[in-house]
Amino acid sequence: MKSKSKPLIDDDGEAREWTAEDFKRATRGRPPMPENQKKERITMYLDRDVLAHFKQDGAGWQTRINDALRSLTK
C-alpha cells in the first residue's frame, strides 16, 4: 500500500522542497486525452475579416471558430 505524500504547498501557500520520492512520482505534461476527444491539426485559409472577427475578443479565437463550425453540424 502506498503512503500518502505530503502536499507540495503548505498552509501558508509556500512550496516545500521536493524529495527524491516527489521526483520519482512527477510526470511532465497533461495526461493523455481520450481518443474520441482528440482534435486534428489542419491548415485552413479564412478571409481576413472573418479571422479578425473571431480574434477581436482575444485568446480562445480558435475555440470560437470550432464552436461556430460545430453549430452548423447540428
DSSP readout, 2-71?
PPPPPPSB-TTSPBPPPPHHHHHH---SPPPPPGGG----------HHHHHHHHTT-TTHHHHHHHHHHH
66 grid coordinates? 470550432
CB 61 within 8 A of CB 55: yes
20 grid coordinates? 527524491
What pTM value is reported for the model? Answer: 0.57
Model pLDDT for residues 18-61, shown as the tens digit of each residue? 899 989 988 888 888 999 999 999 999 999 999 999 999 999 99
